[in-house]
Chain A
Amino acid sequence: MTLRALFMMVLLLVSPAVLAVSPNEILPDAALEQRARDISAGLRCLVCQNQSIDDSDADLARDLRVLVRERLVAGDSNNEVEQYIVDRYGEYVLLNPRLGGHTLLLWAAAPLLLFVGLGLLLLARRRTPPGPVEGLTAEEQAALDALERGPDAR
């Protein structure tokens, strides 16, 4: 049984990871370092399970972190750094998938589902016979009160 299967077993992504960013990687410029962090949080550690390179101690993650910082120091914008990494490692490296033909359905899923749901609701309302919906009748109210009070109410 592989280690990874064990992780799966407990429904948790736990890895015996020690952490990520080391003091010797940190850039002296705080603003630049913050940008490096922001970019890193969106880049996947390729050899890990759904971890960003910021959270992983794998060698590859370290190399990517250093690469991100090198590009930033060289004066790249955030997008340029991201593109630089994607050019070399593929879109798989992005934790936030880009909008495009291949991810259209992914990004559209939530709004689509919401609108379909709303549509179905409206349809269901149309089908119900029209007519004034008044408040509860005295009888219904009594039944409801009994339900809400329960048997132990005095």
Chain B
Amino acid sequence: MSIELGHFALILAFAIALVSAIGGLLLWRRGERLALVLGHASILQFVLVAVAFLAVVQAFVASDFSLALAANHSHSLKPLIFKISGVWGNHEGSMLLWVLILVLFGALVATFGRRLPSDLTNLVLGTQSLLVAAFAGFTLLTSNPFERLSPAPLEGADLNPVLQDIGLAIHPPLLYAGYVGFSICFSFAIAALVSGRIDQAWARWVRPWTMLSWTFLTLGIAMGSYWAYYELGWGGWWFWDPVENSSFMPWLAGTALLHSALVMEKRNALKIWTIFLSIITFSLSLLGTFLVRSGILTSVHTFASDPTRGLVILTILAVLIGGAFLLFAIRSPSLRQGGLFAPISREGALILNNLFLATAVGAVLVGTLYPLLLDALTGTTISVGAPFFNFTFGALMAPLLLVLPFGPLLAWKRADLVAAGQRLMGFAALSVFLAILISALGGTSISMVPIGLLLGFWVSFGAIAEVIERSRLGRIPLGESLRRLRGLPRSIWSTALGHFGMGLTVLGIVTVSAWETELVTTLNPGETAELSGYLVAFDSFEQQPGANYVADTGVFTVTDPGGETATLLAERRTYVASGMPTTEAAIQTYGLSQLYLQLGEPLENTHVIRVWHKPYILLIWIGALVMAGAGALSLTDRRLRVGIPQRARKATAEAAQ
């Protein structure tokens, strides 16, 4: 019964979205009364989709296998958390989650955007509803999660064991919140193009939404990377897989958008480009959804296995993106560029940032799609993998990271590069020194390692330099400096923290790539092995039953170079329902480094043991967390909140009188 209610709620949400879209986009000049209706409609859409979603969750939790989706992807023995996360561990459920997050953002705009001009509200909510109608319609027509089975099977087919992990509970919702969130920027861009209203206030409304989505996307990608790291069983954390790329491209574009919207907000320049980026960022999210959902990425040939889904998404994509760019082509020439500036200025630096990030997006996009297109056009099959991306992407990021620390030290409009250089001189020297010292101590044959270290230190120190500069540390009395430091706006801290996090991630990537060590050997219980100063003793081997699997467990005692010992459990599991094996690596953290131990398959009466020492690998994700923290910090800045500027302006005006 609740399933039919959920089904009905989704249909109703689809109908309301369709009406809101038509109403909002055609009658947007009607002003506040329409805005009020659309606002309520957006909140209603959210409530209805939430009901639909909860209905499916309920079926999974209660193991109601009359729901085809639950029968195919759940199992009565599964722990509760995996029953819930299993809802989106499949195509239909993940589309429903996609729509849920889409309507959530619509409802958030309706709730927090009450102070937006009503014309803009109408257009934004209208566009957002159009997206909801398209994707709720797609879900209902081609991937309905509410289909029933009769008779209902007694037991479900279980979820892929690899997905039975806390990672599935966290990673997809965060990732979706990130790239579905960019739909708001898209809707704002469409609204700006239709109404012709595009000014600094617009950038001010868009930036918090960009920041929010970017923060989620950063967390989502980092979480996915860490999940792959511990679950895959060999400690790889980024593969340049097409599916990863399709989540990484919106992140790069979103990062560019954050920076260009800043220029637009502060200096009223880069308007057309910011609008363009808003459209591109969400288009890349849609493209990612299309590539993943259509199955085109798995293999060009599986595309035909379910042509409806692929074609429908492709049509939605073509209409939305094509329509947006058509609108852009028609309307953008009428937008006036404002805010003149010299090449050496904060604006100039931010443009450089955008140039490199946009090129990186293009390079990743070409690398991802090229094999597909080449195969389709000429029949030649090639692979484009990690070596290509590392080289191309690295070559584009190096100059960006090199100029990054200068940006925040340059003044708006016209700046003194020499002065900024002088302020950074000490940190530059320190970075060079550390890079050379560490490379020499660690010893490396890879020539890129010292350069990578240099860039990592340089970016991290550059972020510190900005804060020091703002506080005039060392040039004025210490107490005065501290007072200035406390008074710094959160946006300054956020910039510095974000860049600092970037530097940490770079350092982590470089150190683990350069100095990771590996040991592959065979051991019997009672034997020991040694890797990079760590003694690994294989204590015992046991077979234990788990909740819905049987585990072969290896018990190990690891003695670190300092003499401390730790007990590690590495497992190989076989899942009851599917018979599928997985490996659960044992990971022991030492400071920022980790020892990664995997129990391999039996070989001639002994056990294959693989151990890796991954120096400073945690910096990769700590850096990402710091970046996300910077995003969150920026969001707590009161003046960034939607709608606040108007009230604040009034308040300041009153105060001035």
A residues bordering B, Cβ < 8 Å?
Answer: 1-24, 26, 41-42, 44, 49-52, 55, 90-97, 102-103, 105-106, 109-110, 113-114, 117-118, 121, 125, 128, 131, 133-136, 140, 144, 146-153
Contacts and interface: CB of A to CB of B under 8 A. Distances in A.
Interface string B159-179: 011110001100110010000
A11 B224 contact: yes
Nearest to B88: A9
Given A5-B295, A19-B610, A44 B385 contact: yes
Contact of B413 (A16, A90, A109, A136): A136
A20 to B, nearest CB: 7
B239 A96 contact: no
B228 interface: yes
A45 to B, nearest CB: 10
A62 B581 CA distance: 19
Contacts of B162: 7, 14-16
Contact of B581 (A16, A49, A105): A16
A99 to B, nearest CB: 11
Contacts of A152: 638-639
Given A8-B295, A147-B639, A149-B489, 8 more contacts: A7-B160, A12-B171, A12-B227, A16-B581, A49-B241, A55-B236, A110-B395, A151-B651
Contacts of B422: none
The 3 lowest CB-CB distance pairs between A and B, nearest first, are A95-B385, A151-B648, A150-B639
B498 to A, nearest CB: 17
B566 interface: no
B581 A97 contact: no
B605 interface: no
A128 B269 CA distance: 12
A51 to B, nearest CB: 7
Contacts of B356: 114
B247 interface: yes
A10 B163 contact: yes
B359 interface: yes
Given A10-B89, A135-B411, A150 B232 contact: no
A5 B91 contact: yes
Contact of A50 (B383, B489, B601): B383
Interface string B582-619: 11000000000000001011010000101000000000
Contact of A11 (B243, B266, B489, B581): B243
Given A5-B295, A23-B521, A149-B489, A114 B396 contact: yes
Contacts, number: 232
Give the interface centre of A9, A114, A153 by most chain B CB atoms within 10 Å: A9
A95 B383 contact: yes
A88 to B, nearest CB: 15
Give the interface centre of A10, A51, A55, A92 by most chain B CB atoms within 10 Å: A10
A10 B370 contact: no
Given A90-B381, A135-B413, A13 B244 contact: yes
16 contacts: A5-B298, A11-B172, A12-B244, A15-B232, A17-B234, A19-B600, A50-B240, A51-B239, A95-B383, A95-B388, A106-B370, A113-B362, A121-B355, A147-B266, A150-B648, A151-B648
B228 A12 contact: yes
A103 B382 contact: yes
B12 interface: no
Interface in B271-328: 288, 292-293, 295, 297-298, 302
Contacts of B385: 42, 44, 50, 52, 95-96
Contacts of A21: 520
Contacts of B370: 103, 105-106, 109
B617 to A, nearest CB: 17
Contacts of B333: none
Q: What band does the interface of chain B fall in when counting residues whose beta carbon is under 8 Å from A?
A: 35 or more
B386 interface: yes
B163 A109 contact: no
A81 to B, nearest CB: 16
Contact of A42 (B236, B387, B395): B387
A16 B638 contact: no
Give the interface centre of A2, A22, A26, A146 by most chain B CB atoms within 10 Å: A22
B572 interface: yes
B383 A93 contact: yes
B392 A148 contact: no
Contact of B168 (A10, A110, A135): A10
Contact of A110 (B244, B392, B581, B603): B392
A110 B396 contact: yes
Contacts of B293: 8
Contacts of B367: 106, 109
Contacts of B94: 9
Interface string B77-118: 000000000001111001000000000000000000000000
B638 A150 contact: yes
Contacts of B172: 9-11
Interface stretch (B23-31, B339-347, B448-456): B339-347
Contacts of A105: 366, 370
Contacts of A19: 233-234, 583, 598, 600, 610
B491 interface: yes
Contact of A102 (B171, B266, B378): B378
B521 A6 contact: no
A102 B388 CA distance: 15
Contact of A6 (B163, B382, B582): B163
B414 interface: yes
A14 B293 CA distance: 16
B652 A146 contact: yes
B600 A22 contact: yes
Contacts of A151: 638-639, 644, 648, 651-652
B242 interface: yes
Interface in B504-560: 520-522
Nearest to B416: A135
Contacts of B261: none
A55 B95 CA distance: 31
A19 B598 CA distance: 9
A93 to B, nearest CB: 7
Given A9-B90, A52-B385, A102 B374 contact: yes
B581 to A, nearest CB: 6
B91 A23 contact: no
Nearest to B365: A109
